């Protein structure tokens, strides 16, 4: 009997002999499909640093067995390292089905193109046959269905969904409330400001890789008193032409920072690259560096908004 068939047999035995783990069964809309979560997961895996941070912020380490997709691109802070002591990283990039089976995972917290590549072998359907439940972050649904602009409500939806799945709804609502309170303070300080045009530069030389209206940075920019120059582009993350950037001539540029590439190097590139050297933002040295974990759906989005708002409208934060 191969490993996959053995795992399927094991699932059947567990379903027959083991009582349900405490927690009410819930159904949640995940990218347009209702997904049932009959039991509270006890062997969860979080993919990518932003999703790992959400799990930790909700106090769910004891419900986890591992994480994945973090160290290839990001550095784990000392604080986070202390919070996840004992949890292994089963894959530095996206995990395979076998990676998840090897640790007997019962839940995979990820997203389309956040550990679950569109068109790849690891999907909700492929994992379901082995009894592994999945939850995909709401922002990522833009890769598989029509979706309105990215919103901070997407992240709140994710936190609320995890609260239901893990039967910690009060804790999830408290976390959401704390974020909304911080956001309301920032919004009050920005009341009536003129919007600053902003370009998000992630990477790319021949063509820039950037954020359209379906990616979280679009929501961050709006909340910080700016407007994404590509806010009319119905993509999440993707490439555009340099001509579209030149035509918009942004007043400010957000640089996405990764462990694998230094933000300062990208700023230096934009300053020497003939196509971008004369942009208003470049000429005036108006850059804000935002870490990847703060630019993707998660608990650091409010930190990113606060940082960017202070750079776009410093006069409001004196």
How confident is the model over 195-206, as pLDDT tens digits? 999 999 999 999
Distance CA 218, CA 249 (A): 17
pTM here is: 0.89
Can 3-136 and 189-313 be said to share one CATH topology? yes
Q: Tell the burial category of 196 from Cβ atoms under 10 Å away from its Cβ (0-12, 13-18, 19+).
A: buried
Domain boundaries defined on the chain: 3-136, 189-313
Q: What angle do CA 295, 300, 304 make, to 5 degrees?
A: 60
Please classify residue 265 by burial: count the beta carbons closer than 10 Å to its beta carbon, then call 0-12 exposed, 13-18 middle and 19+ buried: exposed
| Residue linked to tokens 């000429």 | 283
Question: With 50 as the cut, is the pLDDT of residue 230 above it?
Answer: yes
Report the candidate in 88, 67, 292, 89 with the shortest Cα–Cα distance to residue 201: 292
Q: Is the pLDDT higher at 269 or at 17?
A: 269
User: Each residue of 264-292: pLDDT tens digit?
Assistant: 999 999 999 999 999 999 999 999 999 99
Range of weakest confidence among 97-101, 145-149, 215-219, 247-251 = 145-149
For residues 143 and 113, the answer to whether their CB atoms sit within 8 Å is: yes
- Tokens coding 237: 């993350």
Q: Distance between CA atoms of 230 and 221, rounded to whole angstroms? A: 11
Cα angle value 96/135/163 (rounded, 5°): 135
Query: In terms of CATH architecture, what is 3-136?
Result: 3-Layer(aba) Sandwich (3.40)
Q: How far apart are CA 270 and CA 204, in angstroms?
A: 11
- Phi, psi of 188, rounded to the nearest 5 degrees: -65, -40
Cβ count near 45 (within 10 Å): 31
CA proximity to 104, closest of 20, 22, 7: 7
By DSSP bridging, strand 44-47 and strand 107-112 are parallel
Pick 189-313's CATH classification: 3.40.50.880, 3.40.50.1980, 3.30.460.10, 3.40.50.720: 3.40.50.1980
Residue 97 confidence (pLDDT) above 50: yes
What lies within 8 Å, CB to CB, of 16 at 6+ separation is: none
**Among candidate residues 27, 70, 67, 24, the one with its CA nearest the CA of residue 43:** 67
pLDDT confidence bin for 221, thresholds 50/70/90: very high
Least confident of 20-24, 88-92, 95-99, 219-223: 20-24
**Confidence at residue 147, expressed as pLDDT on a 0 to 100 scale:** 83
Percentage of the chain modeled with pLDDT above 90: 86
pLDDT given for residue 258 in this prediction: 87
151: Cβ contacts below 8 Å, ≥ 6 apart: 219
């Amino acid at each position: 009997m191969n490993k996959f068939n053995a795992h399927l047999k094991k699932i059947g035995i567990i379903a027959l002999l083991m009582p349900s783990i405490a927690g009410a069964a819930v159904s949640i809309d995940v990218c347009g499909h209702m997904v049932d979560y009959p039991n509270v997961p006890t062997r969860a895996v979080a993919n990518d640093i932003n999703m790992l941070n959400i799990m930790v912020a909700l106090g769910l380490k004891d419900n986890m067995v591992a994480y994945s997709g973090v160290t290839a691109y990001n550095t784990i802070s000392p604080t986070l390292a202390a919070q996840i002591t004992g949890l292994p990283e089963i894959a530095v990039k996206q995990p395979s089905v076998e990676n998840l089976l090897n640790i007997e995972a019962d839940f995979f917290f990820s997203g389309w193109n956040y550990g679950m590549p569109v068109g790849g072998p690891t999907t909700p359907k492929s994992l379901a046959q082995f009894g592994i439940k999945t939850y995909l972050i709401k922002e990522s649904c833009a890769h598989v269905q029509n979706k309105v602009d990215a919103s901070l409500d997407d992240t709140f939806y994710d936190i609320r969904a995890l609260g239901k799945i893990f039967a910690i709804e009060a804790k999830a609502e408290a976390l959401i409330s704390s974020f909304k309170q911080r956001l309301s303070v920032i919004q009050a300080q920005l009341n009536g400001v003129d919007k600053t045009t902003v370009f998000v530069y992630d990477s790319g030389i021949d063509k820039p890789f950037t954020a359209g209206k379906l990616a979280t940075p679009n929501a961050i920019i709006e909340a910080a008193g700016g407007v994404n120059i590509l806010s009319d582009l119905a993509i999440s993350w993707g490439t555009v032409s340099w001509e579209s950037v030149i035509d918009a001539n942004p007043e400010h540029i957000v640089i996405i920072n990764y462990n694998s590439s230094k933000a300062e190097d990208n700023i230096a590139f934009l300053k020497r690259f003939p196509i971008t050297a004369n942009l208003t933002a470049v000429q005036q040295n108006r850059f804000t560096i935002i870490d990847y974990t703060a630019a993707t759906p998660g608990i650091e989005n409010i930190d990113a908004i606060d940082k960017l708002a202070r750079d776009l409208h410093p006069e409001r934060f004196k």
